[in-house]
Amino acid sequence: MTTTSSHRTDIDFDSPEHQARLAELYRDFAAAGMAPLWTAREELMPLSPRPRAVAHLWRWSELYPLAARSADLVPVGRGGERRAISLANPGLGGSPYATPTLWAAIQYLAPHENAPEHRHTQSAFRFVLEGEGVWTVVDGDPVAMRRGDLLLTPGWCFHGHHNVSDQPMAWLDGLDIPFVSQTDQGFFEFGPDELTDRSVPERSRSELLWGGPGLTPVSSTGARPSSPLMAYRWAHTDAALAAQLELEDGGYPGVVSAGHAAVRFTNPATGGDALTTMRTEMHRLRAGASSLRTRSSASSVWQVFAGAGTVTVGGADHPVGRGDVVAVPAWTELSFRAGDGLDLFSFSDAPVFEKLHLLRTEVVA
Amino acid sequence: MTTTSSHRTDIDFDSPEHQARLAELYRDFAAAGMAPLWTAREELMPLSPRPRAVAHLWRWSELYPLAARSADLVPVGRGGERRAISLANPGLGGSPYATPTLWAAIQYLAPHENAPEHRHTQSAFRFVLEGEGVWTVVDGDPVAMRRGDLLLTPGWCFHGHHNVSDQPMAWLDGLDIPFVSQTDQGFFEFGPDELTDRSVPERSRSELLWGGPGLTPVSSTGARPSSPLMAYRWAHTDAALAAQLELEDGGYPGVVSAGHAAVRFTNPATGGDALTTMRTEMHRLRAGASSLRTRSSASSVWQVFAGAGTVTVGGADHPVGRGDVVAVPAWTELSFRAGDGLDLFSFSDAPVFEKLHLLRTEVVA
Amino acid sequence: MTTTSSHRTDIDFDSPEHQARLAELYRDFAAAGMAPLWTAREELMPLSPRPRAVAHLWRWSELYPLAARSADLVPVGRGGERRAISLANPGLGGSPYATPTLWAAIQYLAPHENAPEHRHTQSAFRFVLEGEGVWTVVDGDPVAMRRGDLLLTPGWCFHGHHNVSDQPMAWLDGLDIPFVSQTDQGFFEFGPDELTDRSVPERSRSELLWGGPGLTPVSSTGARPSSPLMAYRWAHTDAALAAQLELEDGGYPGVVSAGHAAVRFTNPATGGDALTTMRTEMHRLRAGASSLRTRSSASSVWQVFAGAGTVTVGGADHPVGRGDVVAVPAWTELSFRAGDGLDLFSFSDAPVFEKLHLLRTEVVA
Amino acid sequence: MTTTSSHRTDIDFDSPEHQARLAELYRDFAAAGMAPLWTAREELMPLSPRPRAVAHLWRWSELYPLAARSADLVPVGRGGERRAISLANPGLGGSPYATPTLWAAIQYLAPHENAPEHRHTQSAFRFVLEGEGVWTVVDGDPVAMRRGDLLLTPGWCFHGHHNVSDQPMAWLDGLDIPFVSQTDQGFFEFGPDELTDRSVPERSRSELLWGGPGLTPVSSTGARPSSPLMAYRWAHTDAALAAQLELEDGGYPGVVSAGHAAVRFTNPATGGDALTTMRTEMHRLRAGASSLRTRSSASSVWQVFAGAGTVTVGGADHPVGRGDVVAVPAWTELSFRAGDGLDLFSFSDAPVFEKLHLLRTEVVA
């Protein structure tokens, strides 16, 4: 702490006597359950965010085998609830969190396993890098999970999973567990041990009702906080990204920047983010293209869905390939460069701060 | 007028002298530009809406040939702007309006004709009963028009049409012309005589950007008053209606009432109505099914898209078939009964009154 | 109509034969309940609003005596409901409306008279030019009416008035009767003949609950379409206008333009307009000051509350003084110039068009 | 962790060999930056919130003298910025936070001292228990601080304080420092060392513009995230609380529950909370009255403003008197009982969770 003051020039702040009195004051503060701001102001209120979380990269080639090994050793069942292994940011002192607000995990289900139903106030999604054969049952509605799909579990919806195939399946789980935990907003309730609906339809009922572009069932109009559509299918996402690049080819607006297409997964009943606390997006870079260098007060997690390239985060370059996961703390410079093309899934806590008018995002020159 | 009053019991209101003084007062009112409420209260403020518009049915078999005849006699061009013939409600004293707020017209374009570009604050849409070969160019974006499609022209978007085929094409135009006219909100601007883009793409650029279910281009997020999606394609609408009936077959919610599926065309950026002043919907009744008997303070216009059946409106039954158009005034009881199945397009002024907290809708027992 | 067309150059549109066929077509249109757009496009969709309503001025010196005369001849009671005499815009063909959407009337209550309770979907307010002694009872809450006060009757609230004094009282009534009537949104219900609460408190219960600046009762939080505060007292309005001019004197922002202070009456539960369909404001011009010359697609009615000056409307100057009322059609240029100072109450239909994204307002250079 | 599973019944999970393999797996997880959910699920996602923060009470009789002592030892100036001593919840492991999201501090300014200007994204307010003579200058607008007043410093507004009197002054500071810090949303900027406006007006300019109930300056309409009114004066708050009790005496609605009046400080431009991240309220209990026993997922801090009584929090009773401060963690039962009357100021993080649809509040039977 440095201070300048025109007051009390009569006091010698550096004198041993003064220091002794100050030390006594601080002891008395502590005894009274008090803490001075002036010794901690810079740490508590920095000029710009100083995240404890660090930029970090997890390799799919390391994540997947460890998840698979756990399937031999740990059952899925009541209590533990899920065979999910989270990515623990090295900067967060052992907390199992990717960033201070976001949870990212690899979840693994062996052939014919099922994960029992429960619900919680935490919002959740699954993003599928590879495989198929699992249905997640959300409030009784079975939702197929396949490569490239984003599947939602909005807060307080019952959900369980079952693998009907002879193959294991693994995917990325994203939740707001850290945010909800640190702010004490977590409620949790066990559901049935057995899944409420074991059917395996191609399309969930949510897709039947809400899957048409701009089409709202008259029986279900009105805003709802999170999306009523539980599945965003790869075929649509892929087509939307391709269309933006097609528009760019034609000289029309649509891409975020040169060679960089991106779609946001949104709630068709409001146009806002699909989940209340997390923003989910899919990005595509043409071969050789780079995204703009940006930083945001939102923290985020990125997974390479297809292709390979380089991520530049916090000033360092890292080659990335299929399945690799990158955690990006708040206010950390970020850009991607594609090799022969790069598809990236991302999620962030941006909606929280946007609603509170705290979000800052900038392109770094 | 009837009045009861405990005051001025000394006055003989029925006396000739009093009547003479009253008549003189009313003359003086008129001279001063004043009008008493008490003689007109019941008419001005009825117990429930007393529309001047009447329930009315126009036959496609009559509309279409008249529109076709006009093509031989009237060119399309600057000034008149469009070969559109509106449906004039017999109750509205010669005004060319379907209801006090809604304009419905049949527009006809001969082979290789084009309608020049203009824009106006009035919101507009086209609904296509039959045919194809016309592109409507909305703010420079060519939008194909085909059977079953709903095409938007939100307020103040430039637009023109051109028929690239060797066949004529006719469709239903819906606008808020009466509302905008009576409230003096109309602005109009001529655009180029020639269309700004004569290409004939399968999908408009608006569809490329906004046509994925729940997918928002990251470059274009943020609310906008009317839909950024200019075309709602029949294939999607049809599938959504079929899906609701499939859900009903499975015992799941989705339909409006037994055998009655319905979707609303909505703005994917907000979840609200696709247009600011008009609600647009597509309804499907199974063979033999009836819709609930309802009435709404919104007025509406309905067109049979496919199938046949009976409309019961204002207490009278009318057989209806493909292309027939029904105008339904405010607070008029309405129901439909399907023959072998019935698809209905409808539009109404409900968004205006919903935003003003005036809308009332009820199911009539 | 003028048309230019590159098509059908083979036809001689001016030939008698063609004209005969056209006349026949138009007859057939009429018989079929159809009307061509091309002959009416310019009238239906003008380049800018062409209001039928005209700018018009009513003198208080003429209004008040006529209202007083009616008290000798017409009782207040059930059926006619109110002794209100509306201002009929000369351009509106005999309709008792100030503008196509707004109703303005002078209401008069003789000593000890009362007007029975009723409610309606039409929104209403009272603005008091002079006098006191009347309480308006809104949903059972007696609200004192005094000079300078704005008193609300939001849609569907029961209300009646009673004059407890030995003096007559007259005031300005504003309603959205024309808008509601032409769009068929009117519902009306009779209440008790006698007022439900004859007490005469200084402050209404609505003021006790909602009268503190920025203070919301915890028991009543949440948005509501119209204001829960039924009275906007002159003392507050006057102070707010004076404060803006004080800020201007200090070189701080606050006024609308030089010498022109203005406050809007708003709903403390939302910050929006106090009523759903009408905007209400109070304006003050310093001695010698002029308001900017503006035009708006909203129509409005203005009453001089205090002082005198000149209104320039539609290009003509008119001296105005206390109580005089001016109707201003849409898109009509308007400005005021103060003599020794000028206080003006105004109401308009701006909220309707603002919600529909139709409102246009501009300062005319 | 307890698990039940029908799978892999062939494995003996309790065998030493299995335990060894599991231990090895967990070591490999840690090495890879991974953490299993199943061993931590209950802690991460409890059935209901398990706050680390505890209910805690600080006595004004202890807080004030310590703050005063610091004035002899610590200057106010650049770097440390403020002589504020925060209340550190004993459950939060030494963090200087009242709850996981809220900062509460006593700030002390000696006679004629001033605190230099700065701004930050953190929202702040001052609530004045006693004293006067300090002006807080918010974006250049000097705002007097007096007993009972709530003064706002919305995020990113420059602000400094100066004491123009010969007496020291202390008050309660409330900020969202913990929330902003833990989510990395903090930006901070130094302003001038000297205050930009040293005038000492009775009313701030914000009050001149926004201090009238339901009156919005026409020059400043439109929503803004936090309140444009910087001061909520005790006279208004006191009157509003008294009015609710007066309504209760008359048998009318208004109070929260029997004998319990409460007002929320709100943004007059939206009706929402005065600050984006914190809810601020004033409560009054009649002599002998109790508030309902409630719990909320929001955490809160309460300060006794006047009177004395008992707080029951987390099952324990504590006598409280003037100035005492209570921290209430999430989902902790809370009620107050008044002695001869009790006025309480409170602030909470409820707006954050309300906007995210996470807030739960219930009355405990």
**C361-363 vs C103-109, strand pairing mode:** unpaired
Instruction: Check CB contact under 8 Å for C188 and B47.
Output: yes
SS (H, E, C) chain B: CCCCCCCCCCCCCCCHHHHHHHHHHHHHHHHCCEEECCCCHHHHCCCCCCCCCCCEEECHHHHHHHHHHHHHHCCCCCCCCCCEEEECCHHHCCCCCCCCCCEEEEEEECCCCEEEEEEECCCEEEECCCCEEEEEEECCEEEEEECCCEEEECCCCCEEEEECCCCCEEEEEEECHHHHHHCCCCCEEECCCCCCCCCCCCCCHHHHHHCCCCEEEHHHCCCCCCCCCCEECHHHHHHHHHHHHHHHHCCCCCCCECCEEEEEEECCCCCCECCCCCEEEEEEECCCCECCCEEECCCEEEEEEEEEEEEEECCEEEEECCCCEEEECCCCCEEEEEEEEEEEEEEECHHHHHHCCCCCEEECC
Q: What pLDDT sits at residue B7? A: 52
Burial of D234 (0-12, 13-18, 19+ CB in 10 A): middle
pLDDT band at B13 (very low <50, low <70, confident <90, very high): confident
**B136, two tokens:** 């409507």
pTM of the model: 0.96
Instruction: Check CB contact under 8 Å for B208 and A244.
Output: yes
Instruction: Check CB contact under 8 Å for B85 and C29.
Output: yes
Q: What average pLDDT score do residues A275-292 get? A: 98
Cα–Cα distance measured from residue A49 to residue A285, given in angstroms and rounded to the nearest whole number: 29
Pick the CATH number of D56-363 from 3.30.360.10, 2.60.120.10, 1.10.8.60, 1.10.150.170: 2.60.120.10
- In contact, D100 and D51? CB cutoff 8 Å: yes
Q: What average pLDDT score do residues D288-296 get? A: 98
Q: What pLDDT sits at residue D365? A: 79
- Considering only CB atoms, which chain C residues are within 8 Å of D265? 214-216
Q: What pLDDT sits at residue D58? A: 98
Interface contacts C/D by beta carbons within 8 Å: 155
**CA separation (Å) from B197 to B117, B124, B135, B193, D235?**
11, 20, 10, 12, 66
Cα–Cα distance measured from residue D170 to residue D129, given in angstroms and rounded to the nearest whole number: 8
Examine chains A and D and say if they touch (3+ CB pairs below 8 A).
yes
In the stretch 20-49 of chain D, residues with CB closer than 8 A to chain A read 21-22, 25, 28-29, 32-42, 44-49
- In contact, C72 and C149? CB cutoff 8 Å: no
Terminal CA-CA length for chain B: 32
The string of pLDDT tens digits covering residues A25-54 is 999 999 999 999 999 999 999 999 999 999
Cα–Cα distance measured from residue A85 to residue A115, given in angstroms and rounded to the nearest whole number: 14
- Single-letter code of the amino acid located at A306: A
Q: What pLDDT sits at residue D1? A: 33
Please provide the DSSP assignment of A16-79 as one string.
HHHHHHHHHHHHHHHHTTEEESTTTHHHHS-SS---SS--EEE-HHHHHHHHHHHHHH----TT
For CA atoms C47, C49, C52, C58, the dihedral sign is negative
Examine chains B and C and say if they touch (3+ CB pairs below 8 A).
yes
- Considering only CB atoms, which chain A residues are within 8 Å of B236? 212-213, 215
Instruction: Check CB contact under 8 Å for B274 and A214.
Output: yes
- In contact, A75 and D13? CB cutoff 8 Å: yes
- In contact, C335 and C294? CB cutoff 8 Å: yes
Cα–Cα distance measured from residue D51 to residue A102, given in angstroms and rounded to the nearest whole number: 19
Q: What average pLDDT score do residues D211-222 get? A: 94
- In contact, B227 and A262? CB cutoff 8 Å: no
pLDDT band at D11 (very low <50, low <70, confident <90, very high): confident
**D163, two tokens:** 């004491």
Q: What pLDDT sits at residue D185? A: 98
**CA separation (Å) from C335 to A39, C53, C294, C318, D217?**
59, 18, 7, 11, 19
- Short-list D127, D171, D108, D97, CA closest to D283: D127
What mean pLDDT is reported for chain A? 95
For CA atoms B326, B330, B332, B335, the dihedral sign is positive
Query: What is the complex's ipTM, to 2 decimals?
Result: 0.96
Cα–Cα distance measured from residue D67 to residue A34, given in angstroms and rounded to the nearest whole number: 10
Q: What average pLDDT score do residues C344-358 get? A: 98
**CA separation (Å) from B266 to A328, B102, B282, B358, C316?**
36, 19, 12, 21, 46
Q: Look at residue D162 and give its three-state secondary structure.
A: strand
Q: What average pLDDT score do residues A149-176 get? A: 97
- CB half-sphere exposure, C338, CA atoms < 13 A: 22
Residue with tokens 């019991």: B9
pLDDT band at C8 (very low <50, low <70, confident <90, very high): low
Q: Which CATH superfamily is domain C56-211+225-363 in?
A: Jelly Rolls (2.60.120.10)
**CA separation (Å) from A83 to A77, A122, A173, A318, B236?**
9, 17, 11, 29, 38
- In contact, B345 and B316? CB cutoff 8 Å: no
Task: Return the top range by mean pLDDT from A324-328, C13-17, D10-14.
Answer: A324-328
Instruction: Check CB contact under 8 Å for C213 and D213.
Output: yes
Burial of D257 (0-12, 13-18, 19+ CB in 10 A): middle
What mean pLDDT is reported for chain D? 95
- Short-list C220, C224, C218, C155, CA closest to C187: C155
Cα–Cα distance measured from residue B32 to residue D53, given in angstroms and rounded to the nearest whole number: 74
The string of pLDDT tens digits covering residues B297-314 is 999 999 999 999 999 999
Whether pLDDT at A1 is above 60: no
Contacts of C31 (CB under 8 A, 6+ apart): none
- Short-list D288, D282, D278, D266, CA closest to D339: D288
* C122–chain B Cβ distance below 8 A for any pair: yes
In the stretch 204-223 of chain B, residues with CB closer than 8 A to chain A read 205, 208-221, 223
Angle between helices D60-73 and A16-31 (to 10 degrees): 160
* C285–chain D Cβ distance below 8 A for any pair: no
Whether pLDDT at C303 is above 90: yes
For CA atoms B202, B208, B210, B211, the dihedral sign is positive
Q: What pLDDT sits at residue A9? A: 60
Whether pLDDT at B290 is above 60: yes
Q: What average pLDDT score do residues D6-28 get? A: 84
- In contact, A297 and D185? CB cutoff 8 Å: yes
- Considering only CB atoms, which chain C residues are within 8 Å of B82? 37-38, 41
Cα–Cα distance measured from residue C284 to residue D290, given in angstroms and rounded to the nearest whole number: 48
Least confident of B250-264, C193-207, D10-24: D10-24
* A362–chain D Cβ distance below 8 A for any pair: no
- In contact, D307 and D339? CB cutoff 8 Å: yes
pLDDT band at C1 (very low <50, low <70, confident <90, very high): very low
Whether pLDDT at C341 is above 70: yes
Q: What average pLDDT score do residues B93-107 get? A: 97
Q: What average pLDDT score do residues B114-118 get? A: 96
Distance from CA of B333 to the nearest CA of C (A): 14
Terminal CA-CA length for chain C: 33
Angle between helices D16-31 and A60-73 (to 10 degrees): 160
Instruction: Check CB contact under 8 Å for D79 and A5.
Output: no
Instruction: Check CB contact under 8 Å for C3 and B75.
Output: yes
Q: Look at residue C318 and give its three-state secondary structure.
A: strand
Domain with CATH 2.60.120.10 in chain D: 56-363
- In contact, A210 and A274? CB cutoff 8 Å: no
* B254–chain A Cβ distance below 8 A for any pair: yes
Whether pLDDT at C297 is above 90: yes
* D191–chain A Cβ distance below 8 A for any pair: no
Residue with tokens 């949870």: A103
* A262–chain B Cβ distance below 8 A for any pair: yes
- Hey, which chains touch B, using 3+ CB pairs under 8 Å? A, C
Interface contacts B/C by beta carbons within 8 Å: 306
